[in-house]
Amino acid sequence: MEFLLDGIRAVTPQQCVMYVVGALLIYLAIKKDYEPSLLLPMGFGAILVNLPMSGVLNQMVAGVGESQGIIQWLFETTIEASEALPLLLFIGIGAMIDFGPLLSNPKLFLFGGAAQFGIFLTILLAAACGFSIEDAASIGIIGAADGPTSIVVAQTLKSNYVGPIMVVAYSYMALVPIIQPAVIKLTTTKKERLIRMEYKPASVSKRTKILFPILVTIVSGLIAPASLSLVGMLMFGNLIRECGVLNYLTDTAKDVLTNLVTLFLGITIAFTMKAENFITVQTLMIMGLGLCAFIFDTFSGVMLAKLMNLFLKEKINPMIGAAGISAFPMSARIVQKMGIKEDPTNHLLMHAVGANVSGQIASAIVGGLIIGLVL
């Protein structure tokens, strides 16, 4: 019966810390409703991979040889070898997105670009902290507020901190409803938050909506070939949505595919949360730098809106600039909620959605540009 106690005796203090981390993620998913389809499997997976001699990881079994664990197999196959899960998720995201608000107000493209500023600033900060250029670039992309892009960039650049980067990127995405409102309030006045914006959408033809994902894919492939896997899958999902002849697949992609892939992605990422690799000073530094990236991205979007207001007759509510990050559709919802709180009759959602989807495109392109510059 002595063998029954082997597992208990093998538990380390670091693993106990990871049990707490896992429990915290589960709590945030259930009690606070922060991205439950992602944080719940991540939290449960963090507990699974840190149990001694866990069967979800590869183990050497006496008389049998190596036994393959399901979570390690999922990670090695669908993330490490092919990045299949994050790319499949981009198809589902593309099927969700309506580029109509963006195409009817093209100046919103500027906010998607401006909100990537934090990425490059964080790369410089990470390099100054002693990280290699590959690791610094992988840490900086956390600011894209786009988990799949963070995974692809970190894996492609062979970062030494893929695990912490993945976890920090997705954790901060879930915490966008806490981070962004604080930054917006600090960088705007009440008068600015009360700026009204009438939604007067220009007519966007079906042909334009079909051509847009095709043209974006071609242009992105020419200027940033490394971004093609990300942009291509995003635009392919959007083309399924807009073609009008695959409605049943559109519903499947944006609902069933997205939810299922997110679930598998969450528990697969947990493979990188093993205590010996996760409980380090570098992980704490990555958490701090990732937070800086999110703050700088939001700040730069707001500042661009303020700058544009110096020259525009019809003013832009600076909160719209904050929606230029890639966290779709969370960031747009936050701006709408904050706008309604200031003035119940001021509906900013469609403007915010336009900026938000431009950030989705921009983050994928920037991810490819960074890969091209570093490699």
83-109, pLDDT tens digit by residue? Answer: 899 999 999 999 998 898 889 888 888
CA 350 to chain centroid, in Å, comes to 21
Task: Please determine, for residue 2, whether its predicted confidence score (pLDDT) is greater than 70.
Answer: no
324-342, pLDDT tens digit by residue? Answer: 888 888 899 999 999 999 9
228-285, pLDDT tens digit by residue? Answer: 888 999 999 999 999 988 888 888 888 899 999 999 999 998 998 899 888 889 999 9
Least confident of 21-30, 143-152, 348-357: 143-152
**In Å, what is the CA distance from 71 to each residue of 54, 74, 81, 229, 273?**
10, 5, 14, 24, 11
Computed over every residue of the chain, the mean pLDDT equals 89
Angstrom distance (rounded) from CA 154 to CA 89: 17
166-176, pLDDT tens digit by residue? Answer: 888 888 887 88
Angstrom distance (rounded) from CA 215 to CA 87: 19
292-314, pLDDT tens digit by residue? Answer: 998 999 999 999 999 999 998 88
8 A C-beta contact, residue 253 and residue 91:
yes
Neighbours of 355 (CB within 10 A): 33
Angstrom distance (rounded) from CA 135 to CA 220: 24
Angstrom distance (rounded) from CA 10 to CA 4: 11
Q: In this predicted structure, what is the pLDDT of residue 224?
A: 85
Whole-prediction pTM: 0.87
8 A C-beta contact, residue 38 and residue 174:
yes
**In Å, what is the CA distance from 304 to each residue of 114, 120, 182, 318, 332?**
7, 16, 18, 8, 17
**In Å, what is the CA distance from 23 to each residue of 7, 17, 20, 156?**
20, 10, 5, 31
Q: In this predicted structure, what is the pLDDT of residue 176?
A: 85
Per DSSP, the three-state class of 212 is helix
Task: Please determine, for residue 62, whether its predicted confidence score (pLDDT) is greater than 70.
Answer: no
Query: What does residue 66 show for φ and ψ, rounded to 5 degrees?
Result: -80, 130
27-53, pLDDT tens digit by residue? Answer: 988 998 888 888 899 999 999 999 988
Task: Please determine, for residue 189, whether its predicted confidence score (pLDDT) is greater than 70.
Answer: yes
Rg of the chain (C-alpha set):
21
8 A C-beta contact, residue 174 and residue 42:
no
361-370, pLDDT tens digit by residue? Answer: 999 899 989 9
Where are the chain's structural domains? Answer: 96-247+280-374
Q: What is the DSSP string of 182-211?
A: HHHHHHS-HHHHT------PPP--HHHHHH
